[in-house]
């Protein structure tokens, strides 16, 4: 407590004691004057109760003041800790993003896991972390296996031992590929499960090269993935898209699984090239659906459900079931 506060408290204590003494003497004298039959002890007892009451009131005030001072001190400490925690969180985030630019693939993988840990400990950072991972996946990338293997790029030195040792360029491609697969797995971990409540996280994968993307039974906000290339099996079965899902101009080199997916704000598959089969069985579409993909395409749409008023543009099959 500062000196000024101590002096004020000492003055109030002195004043309270003087007041209590005066009240004791005054009331004792008044009792004796009002009732001459009362004894001195009775008068002193009554006056003492009055004086004690004043002291008790001062004690209550003092305790309340101390409580308020302690609450203020605690609030200041909490604010200091919050600011300190925010500074540390910002430093962790900046350090992890810096590590993503390192040459060593294991450092970049570690940075992604550090970002995932930050998102779990500080939920307000989750969308930012997802944006960073999406930005990493949007970086231009081409693996040598894509050209040779087409729809199934799951090929490497261990899968093809007859090829012998990989070149330095192929080895670098393999390492970068593992980092990108880690980014996709971290995205899967950060997205909430379909059918749950809570925040919605948007994904922007425009122009990305994706391999064996798996977001099954996850809840996504908006999905913007125009002019992207998908290799291997793309698993989106049972995924809940709360915002618009824009696949415009994408190329799917492998199978696309959308069975049971929900498109609550519409979906666009316009100008999409399907090199493998597509399963839209039991998918539910609301708001709008642009299904004018490139032909020919092997698309299974049996049981596709469209909400009332939704026009399915370009659907090359019989009219689907309408939702109630």
DSSP three-state, residue 76: helix
* Cβ neighbour number for residue 67 with a 10 Å cutoff: 10
- The residue ranges of DSSP E strands in the chain, in sequence order, are 203-204, 209-211, 219-220, 223-224, 229-231, 234-235, 240-241, 245-246, 251-252, 256-257, 262-263, 267-268, 273-274, 278-279, 284-285, 289-290, 299-300, 305-306, 312-313, 321-322
Please list the pLDDT of the chain residue by residue as tens digits (324 residues): 555 656 666 666 566 655 656 655 555 555 555 555 555 565 555 555 665 666 667 677 677 777 777 777 776 666 555 545 556 778 889 999 999 989 999 999 999 999 999 999 999 999 999 999 999 999 999 988 887 655 667 655 445 555 667 788 888 888 999 999 999 999 999 999 999 999 999 999 999 999 999 999 999 999 999 999 999 999 999 999 999 999 999 999 999 999 999 999 999 999 999 999 999 999 999 999 999 999 888 998 888 889 888 888 886 544 444 444
**8 A C-beta contact, residue 236 and residue 257:** yes
pTM (2 d.p.): 0.71
């Amino acid at each position: 407590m500062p000196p000024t506060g101590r002096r004020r408290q000492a003055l109030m204590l002195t004043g309270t004691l003087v007041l209590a003494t005066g009240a004791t003497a005054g009331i004792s004298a008044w009792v004796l004057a009002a009732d001459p039959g009362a004894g001195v002890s009775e008068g002193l007892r009554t006056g003492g109760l009055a004086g004690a009451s004043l002291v008790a009131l001062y004690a209550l005030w003092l305790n309340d003041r101390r409580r308020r001072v302690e609450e203020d001190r605690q609030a200041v400490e909490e604010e200091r800790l919050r600011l300190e925690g925010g500074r540390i969180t910002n430093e962790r985030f900046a350090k992890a993003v810096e590590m993503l630019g390192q040459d060593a693939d294991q450092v970049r993988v570690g940075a992604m896991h550090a970002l995932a840990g930050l998102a779990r400990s500080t939920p307000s950072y989750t969308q930012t972390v997802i944006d960073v991972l999406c930005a990493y996946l949007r970086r231009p990338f081409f693996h040598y296996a894509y050209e040779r293997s087409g729809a199934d790029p799951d090929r490497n030195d261990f899968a093809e031992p007859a090829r012998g040792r990989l070149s330095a360029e192929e080895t670098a491609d393999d390492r970068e590929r593992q980092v990108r697969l880690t980014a996709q797995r971290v995205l899967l971990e950060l997205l909430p499960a379909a059918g749950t409540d809570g925040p919605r996280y948007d994904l922007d994968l425009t122009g990305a090269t994706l391999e064996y993307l798996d977001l099954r039974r996850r809840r996504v906000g908006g999905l913007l993935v125009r002019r992207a290339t998908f290799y291997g099996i793309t698993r989106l079965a049972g995924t809940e898209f709360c915002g618009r899902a824009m696949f415009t101009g994408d190329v799917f080199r492998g199978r696309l699984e959308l069975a049971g997916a929900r498109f609550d704000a519409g979906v666009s598959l316009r100008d999409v090239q399907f090199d493998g089969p597509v399963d839209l069985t039991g998918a539910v579409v609301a708001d709008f659906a642009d299904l004018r993909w490139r032909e020919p395409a092997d698309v299974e749409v049996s049981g596709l459900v469209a909400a009332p008023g939704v026009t399915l543009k370009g659907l090359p099959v019989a009219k689907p079931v309408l939702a109630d």
